[in-house]
Chains A and B, each alone.
Chain A
Amino acid sequence: MRIWMTGLAILLVIGGALFFAPSPQRTTSITLTFHAKMGDDPLVFDEFLYENPGGPGTFRVRDFRLYLSNLTLSQGEALFAEPDSYHLLRFDNPETTHSIRLNDIPLRNIDHVRFLIGVDPDANGSIQARGDLDPNSQMAWNWEVGYKFVVMEGTLRIGEEVSPLVYHVGFSENAREVDIQLPPDIGSDGNVDLHVNVDVAKLFDGPSQIDLQKLSSVKFNREDAAMLADNYEAMITPSFK
């Protein structure tokens, strides 16, 4: 009888210990911090600091912002897609950064982060407010066309002459996918802290090199828009590389 009681007590203690022991971590949280850059340096607004990459003159940036959508995180085959995933990245703050935090993602770790620069065609053709999509915002472009995906506005100065720079790139076909593979050691205790650079210079300096004097605005011309989209496709890169 005593043995039987002792056995029961031991079982209870072990069971209780198992029950209250910290279970292995099952979810992950991630912070994506986007750093606006011009080349290797943090972007500075409103100062004539930058050389025209394809011609004469210097330019300043008054506004730079973009839509990021359809953020998905994955570990091997397991995939988590953020619902209503529409983020307007804007950098008009002293750090010129923009952060997105996602908590308690049902993945043990994350090896891939994927998203679109731009908006998927379905949401782009809708006037429903979702995430940061807002048809009454500055990024709403044209009732028929949808949203601007990437916006850069500024001024080009050549000698004493100044002229406006307006790059509004949209059209559903210009959404570009970005796929970032994370190194295996990036997460600790279920937290991933990912830093990403957004290089404005790439907009004008990629497969096509743009002379800001010759092409001082891009709006509704589809060829021009596609050319800038092919450039901005490589604009966002992780900073651990």
Chain B
Amino acid sequence: MLRVFLTAAVAGVIAATTWVIWDRVRGPTATPIAGFSAPFVFGRFAVPPDNPLTEEAFALGRHLFYDPILSGNNQVSCATCHVQALAFTDGLAKSPALPGGELEFSSMSLTNLLWGQERFFWDGRATSLEAQALMPIQHPDEMDQDLGELVTELQASRDYRRMFRKAYGEISAENVTRALSTFMRMLISSDSKYDRFLRGKARLSEQEEHGRKLFMAHPDTKVSLRGGNCIDCHSQFLTSGFRDALDGFSNNGLDSDGDLPDGLMAVTGNPAHKGFFKVPTLRNIAVTAPYMHDGRFETLEEVMDHYNDGIVVSDTLSPLILEADNAPEAGQGTVGLRMTPDEVQSIIAFLHTLTDEDFLTNTQFSNPFEGDS
């Protein structure tokens, strides 16, 4: 009896050891993310061929995103400034800088990054998500981490050794950014009321529908067409900036020539791009206050006031903004859309239909170190 038991135990141990060894020596498992779909109205997207979307990369990226191990002092994670409930912004005009003070720009929402511009950051300085993700990690004011040190720290963790092995085979800075990019690419918001309306599953209220029509129209007093002119910069279905070339960057009339920051010009060197910033997605815009690259506006009402009669003229201001006016006679001293208060409220009502509660609470995007992972 004892012999039988012993034999079974030995066999069990051998089988378990073999499996553990095999699991460690085999290559990454790389399970393609199944059932991945997005609304066809979002259009084409491209995933870099050297970083396919896999379940293992997503799980790893999610852990890294929420782990302060990515920062030099092990206290700051990506999620510090990108909070899911706020559509991955932080609710601040500008995030605090590590040495004190604040950063130059407002934290950007991380939504539907597979579409829209292929440049990242407000000034477009990163030309891929993979390039983007490493920048805050290393920036002395943001996470202040040395990449070599980060790899050493990750190698000390059994969990990370396992997750990297499954996703990519080995721990490296390159694979850190690949995993983070995969996680960010999967942050897809497509279940707002507007999305359900586009799928024919929801009706907009009269006010929301009025707002939608205004959103989509460039005003033309010659044919009595009233418009909020939003679509000249925010694409009709994605509501983000345009994908092609630098079409997704614009000067939206915040500052005069004397105060105009460089923006995209700092990256392209082209003076015609001075004061250009990335046109952000308007998905979940009602929860991502404050607004603009420097968070200068606290509410959507303030934003609409800006476009309605607060445009500041500068040399590179978009002619589409300068020209768009709902009043037939020239304005006296102000530049803007000059819509009625009702029209402004309608556009704001439409903007609220872009809030996607499911996205803001989806447990697949939440902190894996808390509760169910």
**Contact status B242-A137, CB under 8 Å:** yes
**Contact status A142-B243, CB under 8 Å:** no
Which of chain B's residues 232-250 have a Cβ closer than 8 Å to chain A? 232, 235-238, 240, 242-247
Q: Chain A 200-241 against B: per-residue CB contact (8 Å), 1 yes, 0 no?
A: 000000000000000011011100100000000000000000
Q: Cβ of A142: which chain B residues have Cβ within 8 Å of it?
A: 216-218, 231
What's the interface size class on A, roughly?
20 to 34
Given A129-B44, A220-B220, A220-B225, A137:B243 Cβ within 8 A: yes
Q: Cβ of A46: which chain B residues have Cβ within 8 Å of it?
A: 271-272
B302 CB within 8 Å of chain A: no
B320 CB within 8 Å of chain A: yes
B158 CB within 8 Å of chain A: no
Minimum CB–CB distance for B237 against chain A, Å? 6
CA distance A90 to B216 in the complex (A): 24
- A154 in complex: contacting residue of B217, B236, B319, CB < 8 Å: B319
CA distance A143 to B215 in the complex (A): 11
**Contact status A136-B319, CB under 8 Å:** no
A125 CB within 8 Å of chain B: no
Minimum CB–CB distance for A63 against chain B, Å? 9
Q: Cβ of A127: which chain B residues have Cβ within 8 Å of it?
A: 41, 237
CA distance A92 to B273 in the complex (A): 13
CA distance A165 to B320 in the complex (A): 8
Q: Chain B 223-234 against A: per-residue CB contact (8 Å), 1 yes, 0 no?
A: 101000001100
Given A129-B43, A136-B115, A136-B235, A164:B217 Cβ within 8 A: no
Q: Chain A 83-110 against B: per-residue CB contact (8 Å), 1 yes, 0 no?
A: 0000010101000000000000000000
B323 CB within 8 Å of chain A: yes
CA distance A112 to B358 in the complex (A): 55
Which of chain B's residues 301-328 have a Cβ closer than 8 Å to chain A? 319-320, 322-323
- B319 in complex: contacting residue of A129, A141, A164, A221, CB < 8 Å: A164
Please list 14 pairs of residues, one from A and one from B, whose beta carbons are closer than 8 Å in the complex, sorted by A's number.
Answer: A134-B43, A137-B235, A138-B232, A138-B242, A138-B247, A140-B236, A141-B218, A142-B218, A164-B319, A165-B319, A166-B323, A216-B323, A219-B222, A221-B220
10 tightest Cβ-Cβ pairs between the two chains A and B: A164-B319, A136-B235, A164-B323, A164-B322, A220-B220, A46-B272, A219-B220, A221-B222, A220-B223, A166-B323
